[in-house]
Amino acid sequence: MNSLRYISYKCSISFSVFCKESTTSTSNGTFYWPITKIGTDVTIPCHANVATRHCSSGEMVHLEMPTNQYGTSPKCSPFTGVWQEPDMSQCYNTEGITQQLKNITSEDINEENVEEVSTILSNISKKSVYFKAEDIDLAVDIQEKMLPLISNVSADITLKNILPSINNMIDTPEEILVEAEQSDGTGSRLLDIIEAIPEEIPLEGQQLTVLHPNLGIGAIKVEKDTFNGAVYGISFGNKENEAKTMVQYFLMISPLLTVCSKYPN
């Protein structure tokens, strides 16, 4: 039989060392921290901004481990890094949101960069629940600059970026929307954009239907001489059924449900 004996040894660190993945819970929520190399900071989304955490090197481990008669011993673990306490101080700092929006508004938005700009705005808008009045006003400024370009670029830009960002922007707290409307007419301008989009978006098929939690749009191609109008509506979903759309025979437009008919060229 192989006899076991105990030896005392120190791990010889000849490879990269990491902090293990970790989960922390604070008053700000529960956060997952990925495997991180020692000496580096990891940044993860936290409410309006980010949280950071540093992975530092731990002490060289002095272990007493069993070894066999041939003197081989277990390999050292690469996970000897030590996590420092998370820095959550910037979670509700919204200055980064404002600066990002200001950076976009200072740019010339054209057909070449509208896809990139709309993607950035879509990502920023996911934090609209933390918007200030200045932020929603800047976001609407950007939407107004993109609106004239919609008819000349791929419909996917509108469907995947512009409309989702507008849907997110409607989640801005009500008191902020009221403030922005009183100071800059921001809410009215946003509704004007929503109503204009169906007229601008290029139609590849006979009709287009888009539904989001806060808005829906529909556009249909019709024959000018035979068109008698249409109704476009939404039946709200529940746990058993998804929301559905309906097209009937006369035109209806509501603040967050916009419909247009287009005559073929």
Q: What is the pLDDT of residues 40-99, one digit of tens each?
A: 999 999 999 999 999 998 755 444 455 555 554 555 667 788 999 999 999 999 999 999
Q: Please give the structure tokens belonging to residue 217.
A: 């749009």
pLDDT at 125 over 80: yes
The one-character DSSP state at 151 is G
Return d(Cα 70, Cα 7) in angstroms, integer.
Answer: 12
Cα 163 to Cα 109, 111, 130, 200, 226: the distances in Å are 17, 17, 19, 13, 31
Residues 184-195: tens digit of each pLDDT: 999 999 999 999
Domain boundaries, the chain: 18-60+75-92, 94-262
Least Cα distance to 92 among 138, 120, 40, 132 occurs for: 132
Residue 228 pLDDT greater than 50, yes or no = yes
Query: Average pLDDT in the 191-215 region?
Result: 87
pTM exceeds 0.75, yes or no? no
In 3-state terms, what secondary structure has residue 25? strand
Buried residues in 81-114 as b, exposed as e (16+ CB within 10 A): bebeebebebbeebeebeebbeebeeeebeeeeb
First to last CA, the chain: 91
Lowest pLDDT segment from 12-16, 92-96, 113-117: 12-16
CA dist 130 → 61, 185, 251 (Å): 45, 20, 36
For the segment 4-13, the average pLDDT, to the nearest whole number, is 51
Q: What is the residue whose two structure tokens read 């916009």?
A: 258
At residue 240, does pLDDT exceed 90? no
Euclidean distance between CA atoms 234 and 218, whole angstroms: 10
What is the Cα–Cα distance from 190 to 176, expressed in whole angstroms?
14
Structure tokens at 44: 């993860």
Q: Write down the CATH number for the domain with range 94-262.
A: 1.25.40.610
User: How far apart, in whole angstroms, are the C-alpha atoms of residue 250 and residue 220?
Assistant: 12
